[in-house]
Amino acid sequence: MVLTKFNKPLEEKEFEIPELQDEGEVLVKITASGVCGSDAYMWHGHDPRTPLPIILGHEGVGEIVKVKNSKNSVTGDILKPGDPVLWHRGVSCGKCFACKVDKEPSFCNNRWVYGINRSCDEYPYFLGGYASHIILSSDTDIFKVPKDVSHEALVSVSCSGSTTAHAFELAPVKFGDDVIIQGPGPLGIYAVAFAKFSGAREIIVIGGTEERLKICSEVGATKIINRNKTTLEERNDLIQEYTNGQGAQSVFEMAGSPKAVAEGIKYVKRGGTYASAGFGEPRGTVELDCFKDIGNTNISYQGVWVSDASHTYQALQIALKYEELFKKMVTHRYPLSQATKALEKMDNKEAVKAVIKPE
Ligand SMILES: [Zn+2]
Ligand SMILES: [Zn+2]
Listed in sequence order, the residues at least 6 apart from 83 whose beta carbon sits closer than 8 Å to its beta carbon are 63, 64, 77, 144
Q: Is residue 47 predicted with pLDDT exceeding 90?
A: no
Q: Please name which of 143, 145, 72, 87 lies closest in space to residue 320, comparing C-alpha atoms.
A: 145
Q: Distance, CA 312 to ligand 2 centroid (Å)?
A: 18
Predicted confidence band of residue 282 (pLDDT cuts 50, 70, 90): confident
Cα 240 to ligand 1 centre (Å) = 33
Full DSSP string of 288-346:
--IIIIIITTT-EEEE-----HHHHHHHHHHHHHTHHHHHHTEEEEEEGGGHHHHHHHH
Query: How many angstroms is it from 139 CA to the middle of ligand 2?
Result: 12
Pairing of strands 59-67, 26-35: antiparallel
Rounded to the nearest whole angstrom, what is the distance from the C-alpha of residue 78 to the centroid of ligand 1? 28
How many angstroms separate the alpha carbon of residue 106 from the centre of ligand 2? 8
* Rounded Cα–Cα distance for residues 196 and 253 (Å): 17
- Better-scored residue on pLDDT, 359 or 349: 349
Ligand of minimum distance to the alpha carbon of 57: 1
pLDDT tens by residue, 193-205: 999 999 999 999 9
Mean pLDDT of 90-104: 96
Going from the Cα of 245 to the center of ligand 1, the distance in angstroms, rounded, reads 35
Torsion sign across C-alpha atoms 68, 74, 78, 81: negative
Crossing angle of the two packed helices 210-219 and 186-198, in degrees rounded to 10: 20
pLDDT in tens, 211-237: 999 999 999 999 999 999 999 999 999
- How far apart are the CA of 164 and the centre of ligand 2, in A? 22
For residue 98, the CA-to-ligand 2 centroid distance in Å is: 6
pLDDT tier, 322 (very low <50, low <70, confident <90, very high otherwise): confident
Predicted pLDDT at 359: 79
pTM tops 0.85, yes or no:
yes
| Cα atoms found within 13 Å of the Cα of residue 39, Cβ hemisphere only | 36
The Å distance, Cα 271 to ligand 1 centre, comes to: 31
Give the residue-averaged pLDDT of 77-106.
96
pLDDT of 231: 98
